[in-house]
Amino acid sequence: MSPPCCRFLSQYTHHHLIAFLLTFFSYVLLHASRKTFSNVKVSISAQWTPLPLNGSSPAFSPKQTWEGNKLFENTEGATLFLGVLDTIFLFSYAVGLYVSGVIGDRFNLRYVLSFGLCGSALVEFLFGTLTEWIHFYNVPFYCVLWVLNGLLQSSVWPCVVAVMGNWFGKSGRGFVFGLWSACASVGNILGAFLASSVLKYGYEYAFLVTSAVQFAGGVIVFFGLLTAPKEVGLSISLESPQERDSDSHQPLISDDEDEQEGMLQDNSYSIQQPDQDLGPEEPPAAIGFLKAFCLPGVLPYSLAYACLKLVNYSFFFWLPFYLSNNFGWKEEQADRLSVWYDVGGIVGGTVQGLVSDILGKRAPVLAVSLLLAMGSLVGYSHSPDDQVINGVLLAVTGFFIGGPSNMISSAISADLGRQEALRGSQEALATVTGIVDGTGSVGAAGGQYLVSLIESKLGWMCVFYFFIVMVSVCLRSSVCLRSSACLPLRLPALPLACPSACVPLPLPALICLCPLPHLG
């Protein structure tokens, strides 16, 4: 009898590996280019203010550029505008996610994904490279470009999660998605190293390198990605429709015992075989946005993710800036040190996903990790002026914040998009993913302006107190989701025929969507 790990790996073909790698590196390249903006904020702020005020080296730009093209009178104004750009990006990104998920379920995922990657690369080239080469500095132009960038980038995440959900079934999804969701953190690390290595030539070259690589990745995805097994004559045999309806939603986001575990072991995950004698199949119809929003668990997890993504993206956008300004470290040193937060997130997402597979449940793992995340935030807020200690504390904080964030945005989103209430309509993965990540981005967008405002008025310590409050709210939602009273998985499926925005829901469903005070 072969070992369990060998049986697990033997269930996949080289097509699975290609789909895994292409979607993984698609988001790696997207996040690398996104990280570039946060890594060069100090340089951009210096470029946008007069030389006598910013105290930076004239090597950033010719002297005449400082005198003729300054955008702001002081660095405080430039820093505040950088926070505004973060907020603009995230709000447009959130709006785009709601729309992109629906589009991804209705059009070829490969086309939508390639368009988002290549279009975003062109916008970032215009924003960071071309405007600097021609010495064109204009606040409204920057805002318009960043709105467009957020809309284009929003098409990527729902599509890559949907492709992964098509290729990888529920068995082992926590580990596979936990490993795969490290793509964002790997992209952050890649972006930090690319930006720091060319920053000495000017921040415009950091944008040039990352946008060029991202555009090339979009071209590769267009010609090489297979979005589903059926495109090569394969079918997923691990989940018959009946099994998927009865199992995919229940054990992974609830503490209820898995009563059917033994019945499913014989079909745990068999290698995909070509469809034979099945005849032509009609593609399943995609469900609407409101119907997906009404699915059990979608709203509670979306709201929880809004609080958690606020904290996670605040580290993403502001960590290099915080390290450079709070400790006085050089920008290149701050960029490289910030990657330890992403290293912790990579390990955390993989380990916690594996543990959730072993337990057969996601919520308990989330609750424990979020509780420890609060302690890690307290510890990091008191980090001394020592790069080694700071890096260790960053890795620990990333483990307990980045891990749950990766799990909600990938594995749990896939679980929610393959649940019982969908019945015959299975084209909901991209839509559900867009709802969860879009709601999270709304919270993250508002948080970026609040971070800059709190820091300017009260200091960085109060920013960390704000983070702890947000994690505690997410923890409360996670604890509520563990209760069967809050997420009644044994009840009949919600009706999907919602005629209007006023959706008639059964009373138990209303209880499901409204956290009760005594459950916290």
403-425 pLDDT, tens per residue? 888 777 776 776 776 666 555 45
Per-residue pLDDT at 364: 83
E strands, 339-485, in order: none
pLDDT for residue 291? 75
- One-letter-per-residue 3-state SS of 137-164: CCHHHHHHHHHHHHHHHCCHHHHHHHHH
Q: Tell me which DSSP letter residue 412 carries.
A: I
pLDDT-derived band at 373, boundaries 50, 70, 90 = very high
pLDDT digits (tens, 9 = 90+) for 470-481: 998 888 766 655
What is the rounded CA–CA span in Å between residue 499 and residue 325?
53
Model confidence band, residue 483 (pLDDT cutoffs 50, 70, 90): very low
CATH number of 11-50+71-230: 1.20.1250.20
| CA neighbours closer than 13 Å in the CB half-sphere of residue 453 | 8
- For residues 513 and 132, the model is more confident at 132
Fold observed for domain 287-486: Growth Hormone; Chain: A; (1.20.1250)
Question: Do 208 and 125 contact (CB within 8 A), yes or no?
Answer: yes
Q: Enumerate the domain spans of the chain.
A: 11-50+71-230, 287-486
Lowest-confidence region among 19-28, 115-124, 240-249? 240-249
Token pair of 4 as six digits: 């369990």
Helices (H) and strands (E) in the chain, counts: 24, 2
- At 249, the pLDDT band (50, 70, 90 cuts) reads very low
* Confidence (pLDDT) at 194: 86
Q: Enter the tokens of residue 407.
A: 């799990």
Does residue 61 sit in helix, strand or coil?
coil
Residue 143: exposure state from Cβ atoms within 10 A (0-12, 13-18, ≥19): middle
Fold agreement between 11-50+71-230 and 287-486:
yes
User: Given phi > 0 = left and psi -120 to 50 = alpha, else beta, which region is 279?
Assistant: left
Q: How confident is the model at residue 394 (pLDDT cuts 50, 70, 90)?
A: very high
Q: Is 488 left (phi over 0), alpha (psi -120 to 50) or beta?
A: beta
Region 182-187 average pLDDT: 84
State the pTM of this model. 0.66
pLDDT at site 9: 57
**Of residues 132, 127, 130, the one with CA closest to residue 47:** 132
C-alpha 27/C-alpha 21 separation (Å) is 10
Q: What is the mean pLDDT of residues 191-212?
A: 87
Q: Please state the separation of Cα 322 from the chain's center in Å.
A: 22
Maximal CA-CA distance, the chain: 77
Type of residue at 294:
C
Mean pLDDT of 209-216: 93
What pLDDT was estimated at residue 115?
94
Task: Give me the DSSP letters along 166-187.
Answer: HHS-STTHHHHHHHHTTHHHHH
- pLDDT of 211 reads 92
CA distance 110 to 113: 5
Which residues on neighbouring strands pair with residue 234, listed in sequence order?
A: 274
- 10 within 8 A of 271, measured Cβ to Cβ: yes
Mean pLDDT, range 150-156, rounded to an integer? 91
Residue 499: other Cβ atoms inside 10 A:
8
| Structure confidence at residue 495 as a pLDDT band (50, 70, 90) | very low
Alpha helices in 459-503 (DSSP H): 460-481
What pLDDT does 174 receive?
67
Question: Would you say residue 297 has pLDDT above 70?
Answer: yes
Measured between alpha carbons, how far is 290 from 301 in angstroms, rounded to an integer? Answer: 16
Q: Would you give the end-to-end CA distance of the chain in angstroms?
A: 46
Mean pLDDT value across the chain: 74
Statement: residue 393 has pLDDT above 50: yes
- Are the C-beta atoms of 485 and 519 separated by less than 8 Å? yes
Q: Which residue has the higher pLDDT, 437 or 58?
A: 437
Residue pair 344/481 in contact (Cβ under 8 Å)? The answer is no
Residue 466 near residue 199 (C-beta atoms within 8 A):
no
Lowest-pLDDT range of 41-50, 226-235, 250-259, 387-396:
250-259
pLDDT of 11 over the 60 cut: yes
Q: What whole-number percentage of the chain has pLDDT above 70?
A: 70
Query: Would you state the pLDDT for residue 114?
Result: 93
Compute the residue count for the chain: 520
